[in-house]
């Protein structure tokens, strides 16, 4: 367990914006208003900061997060805009619209923030406080709604404090959020798909595109339920079979280790990566997807995975490993 933090609350002025940028740069967590709901922000390029977001929210699973940017230029560094995406961004950004795009080759967003996917959800919020913080920080910021998992999305700083007090560093209070529901999410990976209805009406998007949006089978507003439309593989899964809770390594296996105690036979493993030698679940979460990818590419017949404790972020790590190990 992590010791409770002292959560500061600051009225949204220039000093608070500078403070928020400092906290983000130090891998901390800052709640701030957007035009939709309050977001829980962290440096999107810092896997450990992103891991703390999941921990603070108590999310039982790693669902991909929305990456917030200050301008179009920053967005283009993260995702590839096809003609539809470019048209939607020109029409509705800044505003309550999130675009799911193919990642650029040099996308700096941490693997944990996209849950290991090759796609990234990007949004340019239309709220002066959010924009000032993004501009001052100068890097992309993940920001899920600033509530505990399973609770309602917060539209005031008081809601955030009630839910996340003691779990985050700073709340920037910019008053009630004007839209009050989350952004609309549209997948732009071919035929545009409505992934989540939200603050921007479908009709406005369809008017701009000049055609109907396809429906995602699992469209919904619950950020704890992953969006799993058939064509947008929503979960990264390695090709190599996984063997979970392995205490020893069989010949020809790769090893995904955890903690300071080596698994039996680790010396003979095809390749070994350790999620966290000191047994830190935040570090393990930050390393999970990139290490799975690396071992998947190492050419072993099986990836043996050492047991991961079930407390804290361990629940989400085990959830993801179980999905990756499920027969396909």
Residues contributing to the site for ligand TXA (CB under 6 A): 34, 36-37, 39, 63-66, 98, 100, 114, 117, 119-121, 123, 125, 143-145, 182-183, 185, 195-196, 223, 226-227, 232, 234
Among the residue ranges 11-19, 24-32, 137-145, 279-287, the one whose residues contact Mg ion (CB under 5 A): 137-145
264 in the Ramachandran plot: left (φ > 0), alpha (ψ -120 to 50) or beta?
beta
Residue 213 binding result from Mg ion, ligand TXA, none, given CB thresholds of 5 to 8 Å by partner type: none
- How many amino acids of this chain bind Mg ion (CB under 5 A)? 2
Binding positions for Mg ion, 165-224, rule CB under 5 A: 223
Cβ 275 to ligand TXA, closest distance in Å? 23
For Mg ion, the closer CB: 50 or 295? 50
Cβ nearer to ligand TXA, comparing 60 with 226: 226
Q: Out of 34, 36, 98, 145, name the contact with Mg ion by CB under 5 A.
A: 145
Contact string (CB under 5 A) for Mg ion, positions 217-236, x = contact: ------x-------------
Residues from 268 through 327 that contact Mg ion (CB under 5 A): none
Residue 166: CB minimum distance to ligand TXA, A: 20
Question: Which among Mg ion, ligand TXA, none contacts residue 185 (Cβ within 5 to 8 A by kind)?
Answer: ligand TXA
Contact 188, 85 (CB under 8 A): yes
Of 40 and 300, CB closest to ligand TXA: 40
Max CA-CA distance within the chain? 61
Considering the complex, what minimum distance in angstroms separates the CB of residue 36 from ligand TXA?
A: 3
| Per-residue three-class SS string for the chain | CCCCCCCEEEECCHHHHHHHHHHHHCCCCEEEECCCCEEEEEECCCHHHHHHHHHHHCCCCCCCCEEECCCHHHHHHHEECCHHHHHHHHHHCCCCEEEEEEECCCCCCCCCCCCCCCEEEEECCCCHHHHHHHHHHCCCEECCECCCCCCCCCCCHHHHHHHHCCCCCEEEECCCCCCCCCCEEEECCCCCEEEECCCCCHHHHHHHHCCCCEECCCCCCCCCCCCCCCCCCCCCCCCCCEECCCCECCCCEEEEECCCCCCECHHHCCCEEECCCCCCHHHHHHHHHHHHHHHHCCCCCEEEECCCCCCCCHHHHHHHHHHHHCCC
With CB under 5 to 8 Å by kind, the binding choice for 240 among Mg ion, ligand TXA, none is none
Looking at the Cβ atoms of 54 and 258, the one nearer to ligand TXA is 54
Choose the contact partner of 160 out of Mg ion, ligand TXA, none; CB within 5 to 8 A by kind.
none
CA distances from 63 to 40, 222, 233, 316, 319 (A): 15, 11, 12, 9, 11
Give the binding range for Mg ion (CB under 5 A) out of 9-17, 51-59, 140-148, 162-170: 140-148
Shortest Cβ distance from residue 301 to ligand TXA (Å)? 30
Identify which of residues 50 and 305 has a Cβ nearer to ligand TXA in the complex: 50
Shortest distance, position 3 Cβ to Mg ion, whole Å = 26
C-alpha–C-alpha distance, residues 217 and 194, integer Å: 9
Both structure tokens of 103: 């990642």
Nearer to Mg ion, 145 or 276 (CB): 145
Q: How far apart are CA 87 and CA 313, in angstroms?
A: 39
In terms of CB distance, is 37 or 88 closer to ligand TXA?
37
* 114 touches, from Mg ion, ligand TXA, none (C-beta below 5 to 8 Å by class): ligand TXA
Residues lying near Mg ion in the complex (CB under 5 A): 145, 223
């Amino acid at each position: 367990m992590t010791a409770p933090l002292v959560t500061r609350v600051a009225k949204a002025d220039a000093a608070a914006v500078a403070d928020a940028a400092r906290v983000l740069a130090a891998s901390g967590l800052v709640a701030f208003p957007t035009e939709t709901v309050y977001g829980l922000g962290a440096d999107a390029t810092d896997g450990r900061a992103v891991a703390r977001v999941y921990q603070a929210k108590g999310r039982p699973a790693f669902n991909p997060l929305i990456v917030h940017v200050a301008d179009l230029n920053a967005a283009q560094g993260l995702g590839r805009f096809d003609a539809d995406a470019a048209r939607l961004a020109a029409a509705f950004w800044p505003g309550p619209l999130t675009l799911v795009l193919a990642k650029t080759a040099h996308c700096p967003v941490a693997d944990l923030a996209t849950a290991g996917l090759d796609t990234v959800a990007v949004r340019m919020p239309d709220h002066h406080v959010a924009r000032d913080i993004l501009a001052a920080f100068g890097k992309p910021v993940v920001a899920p709604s600033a509530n505990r998992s399973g609770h309602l999305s917060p539209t005031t700083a008081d809601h955030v404090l009630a839910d996340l007090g003691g779990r985050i560093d700073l709340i920037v209070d910019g008053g009630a959020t004007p839209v009050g529901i989350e952004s609309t999410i549209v997948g732009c990976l071919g035929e545009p798909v409505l992934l989540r209805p939200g603050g921007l009406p479908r009709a406005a998007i369809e008017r701009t595109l000049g055609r109907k949006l396809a429906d995602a089978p699992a469209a919904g507003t619950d950020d704890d339920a992953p969006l799993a439309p058939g064509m947008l593989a929503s979960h990264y899964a390695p090709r190599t079979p996984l063997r979970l809770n392995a205490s020893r390594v069989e010949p020809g296996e790769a090893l995904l280790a955890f903690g300071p105690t080596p698994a039996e036979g680790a010396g003979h493993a095809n390749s070994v990566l350790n999620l966290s030698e000191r047994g830190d679940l935040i570090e393990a979460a930050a390393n999970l997807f990139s290490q799975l990818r690396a071992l998947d590419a190492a050419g072993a017949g099986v990836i043996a995975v050492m047991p991961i404790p079930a407390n804290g972020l361990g629940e989400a790590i085990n959830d993801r490993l179980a999905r990756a190990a499920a027969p396909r």
